[in-house]
Amino acid sequence: MSIQYRKILELHAQKVVQRNIAAATGNSRPKIAEIIKRAKEEVLVPPFTDEMDDEWFEALLFPHKKRESKGRQLPDFEHIHTELAKSNVTLSLLHYEYEAMCRQNNVIPYAYRTFCQYYHEYAQKYKATMRIKRKPGETMEVDWAGTTLSLTDSDTGEIVKAYLFVATLPCSQYGYCEARLSMKQEDWLVSHIHAYKYFGGVTEILVPDNLKTGVTRHQAGEAVLNSTYRELASHYNTIILPARVRTPKDKANVEGSVKILSTWIIAALRNEKFFTLIELNQAVSEKLDEFNLRPFTKKYKKGNRKDAFISEEQFALQPLPRVPYKMATWKTATVQLDYHTNVENMFYSVPYEYIQNKVDIKVTKDLVEIFYKDSRIASHKRLYGKLGQFSTNHDHLPENHQLYLDYTPKEAIKWAESIGEATTEVVRYLLKSAKVEKQALKATLRLKNFGRKYSSEAIEQACQDIIKIVSAPTVPVIERLLRSNQQQEQPHNASAQNTYGFTRGAAYFGIEGEKNNDIR
């Protein structure tokens, strides 16, 4: 039974329900629904002219029927359009699969050229985007607009330039832009972060212009990215492919968007005054929304950039990372002899094995990370406040240096009490009289280390002896007493043995002239 296109549409215009239309025409309800849908897309409403017969409606609403009448198998264009959104899928591959299916079903396939032509016509008519050259979610192109915006200094009346950052998704032509006060690296990177947030996802590839803020130099024909830009790309799991120098075709979409946005936003705001960057960006945001909601100017292309983005590209974007990229700066430094590096007059430790080696230091608002040949060797919370502070990780120190950091006054006194009262008295004096606690601990630790060579009784006896001699005992004097007492205990030869005894004065041990606060 032939399909009564004209009668179906006329009855539908008279608000006849589809069940009754099916009864009146003898056509199925699914087919009637499809005809009504296609007619709405073509904005077909009565009254119809005499030439608009069923054959005319069929040719307009279902052009593929004419193609099928040639005895060839028409491709499934919806399937083709969906498959082209996938990575590495091309029209050439899909045509090969289509030919294989036709051979299996004993039908004649269309040639590749006709296959592409029919898909092109289908996509132009029923889809917002074309997927022959650009895949959804594949590329984001970025650049600075050549024309500037302006702010007015409220105090001086001076005109201050503002630069427009532009990002575009070539597949849907969806755009983003914002004004910045400079084109320096920080503004460049922050604008990328804002663009990703605006799009709600990340593309596989990022195509910037060859700006110094992103590209350090060219080497062997390839662009070398600066470390911060490379790190941003790593954080967002995207690949940066800078446009080649003097090759505008590499970024034709963004340059086209820059030109359009320059007219749509910059020119539109030319007669308005703004006194703050916030005010300016509010106006830019409003114009950007108008731009993305503006209907496509080409007659065959329905909808607008936002519709195209939501229906044709948003699904293909990679998800945003859990937290946005944090701005970082890099510097190179040499590890000092005390195994610390200087970052803005604050000092951060690294493993002592890297002393006198050059390291790369990444500095963010909250963190300082130190790298040696691309491997991170230290990480510290960033210090603020009084200059000259130290952040030291005990594991970075040599084993003998760790003793000083782990040794406390409480532990020093506990050890002294295990030796005896005189030793405890000496240790308490050393801790009390020192101007710097670390210096006192160093002295008490040296005293404790005498235990490797002398017995506890010998140390206690030396401390008793020095307390009797002076009121300000020092570790060097105690050491001399220990050596002297040890020599007296050793057996003498017969000629030297006698029963005479005597007490040596303070001058013998070099005590005279010692300063009370000498605790070396």
**Between vectors from CA 119 to CA 115 and to CA 122, what angle results, nearest 5°?**
145
Confidence of residue 255 (pLDDT cuts 50, 70, 90): low
Same structural domain for residues 412 and 299?
no
269 is a domain residue: yes
Domain contains 414: yes
Give a yes or no: residue 18 inside a domain.
yes
- Does 69 map to a domain? no
Give residue 139's region: left, alpha or beta (phi > 0; psi -120 to 50).
Answer: beta
Rounded CA-CA distance 90/84 in Å is 6
Which of 396, 443, 441, 450 is closest to 419 using CA atoms?
Answer: 450
Q: What is the C-alpha separation between 371 and 367, in angstroms, rounded?
A: 13
- The structure tokens 């944090």 sit at 326
Residues 484/509, Cβ–Cβ less than 8 Å: yes
pLDDT on residue 497 = 47
> 154: domain range?
139-316
Reported as a single tens digit per residue, the pLDDT across 146-195 is 888 999 888 888 899 999 999 999 888 899 999 999 998 889 999 999 99
> Which two structure tokens, joined as six digits, stand for 263?
């007219």
CA-based radius of gyration for the chain: 42
Question: Are 243 and 379 in a shared domain?
Answer: no
CATH number of the domain enclosing 196: 3.30.420.10
Task: Tell me what the mean pLDDT of segment 89-100 comes to.
Answer: 87
Query: With 70 as the cut, is the pLDDT of residue 64 above it?
Result: no
Higher-pLDDT residue of 382, 134: 382
Cα 27 from Cα 21, distance rounded (Å): 8
Q: Is the dihedral of CA 262, 207, 217, 235 positive or negative?
A: positive
Q: Note whether 411 and 471 are same-domain residues.
A: yes
CA distance 171 to 317: 12
Q: Which residues pair with 57 in a beta bridge?
A: none
Angle, helices 409-419 vs 421-433, to 10°: value is 160
> Which pLDDT band holds residue 452 (cuts at 50, 70, 90)?
confident
Mean pLDDT over residues 491-519, rounded?
Answer: 46
Helix (H, G, I), strand (E, B) or coil at 115: helix
Q: Are 367 and 379 in contact (CB under 8 A)?
A: yes
Dihedral class, residue 246 (left if φ above 0, else alpha if ψ from -120 to 50, else beta): left
One domain for residues 49 and 188: no
Contact between 81 and 94 (Cβ < 8 Å): no
Cβ neighbours of residue 305 closer than 8 Å, sequence gap 6 or more:
172, 173, 174, 175, 291, 292, 293, 294, 296
347 within some domain: yes
In contact, 469 and 506? CB cutoff 8 Å = yes
Whether residue 438 sits in one domain with residue 412: yes
Kindly state whether residues 146 and 119 are assigned to the same domain.
no
Q: Are residues 392 and 412 in the same domain?
A: no
Is residue 519's pLDDT more than 90? no
Are residue 161 and residue 310 in the same domain, yes or no?
A: yes
268 and 343 housed in the same domain = no
**Which of 319-328, 356-365, 395-404 shows the lowest mean pLDDT across its residues?**
395-404
Does the pLDDT at position 512 exceed 60?
Answer: no
- Counting the structural domains of the chain, the total is 5
- Mean residue pLDDT of the chain comes to 81
Q: Are residues 229 and 295 in the same domain?
A: yes
What pLDDT score was predicted for residue 221?
A: 46
Alpha-carbon distances, residue 484 vs 219, 465, 474, 497, 509 (angstroms): 72, 11, 16, 17, 9
Comparing CA positions, the residue from 242, 252, 238 lying closest to residue 134 is 252
The answer for residues whose C-beta is within 8 angstroms of residue 401's C-beta and 6 or more apart is 352
Backbone angles phi and psi of 175, in degrees to 5: -125, 160
**In 3D, which of 81, 206, 69 has the Cα closest to residue 142?**
206
DSSP state of 266: I
Residue 491 within a domain: no
Same domain, 274 and 149: yes
Q: What is the pLDDT of residue 435?
A: 74
Going by C-alpha positions, the residue among 177, 167, 229 that lies closest to residue 202 is 167
**Selection from 45, 37, 8, 43 nearest residue 24 by Cα:** 8
pLDDT band, very low/low/confident/very high, at 202 (cuts 50, 70, 90): very high
Would you state the structure tokens that stand for residue 364, as one six-digit string?
A: 């963010």
The residue out of 370, 396, 422 marking a domain boundary is: 396
Report whether pLDDT(39) > 90: no
Q: Is residue 378 situated within a structural domain?
A: yes
Q: Are residues 443 and 295 in the same domain?
A: no
Last residue of a domain, one of 365, 396, 427: 396
Q: Tell me, what's the pLDDT at 499? A: 43
When mean pLDDT is compared across 74-78, 106-110, 210-214, 385-389, the lowest value belongs to 210-214
Mean pLDDT across the stretch 429-448? 81
Task: Choose between 265 and 435: higher pLDDT.
Answer: 265
Give 325-360 pLDDT, tens digit per residue. 888 888 899 998 878 899 988 999 999 889 889 999
CA torsion 376-381-383-388 (nearest 10°) is -50
> Does residue 251 surpass a pLDDT of 70?
no
**Pair 213, 238: CB distance under 8 Å:** no
Length of the chain: 520
Q: Which residues contact 303 (CB under 8 A, 6 or more apart)?
A: 128, 295, 296, 311
pLDDT at 493: 43
Distance CA 499, CA 63 (A): 132
C-alpha 199/C-alpha 139 separation (Å) is 12
d(CA 487, CA 504): 14
Single-letter residue type at 296: F
373 or 224, which is more confident: 373
Q: What percent of the chain has pLDDT over 90?
A: 27
Domain assignment present for residue 502? The answer is no
DSSP state at residue 263 = I
How large is the average pLDDT for residues 62-68? 60
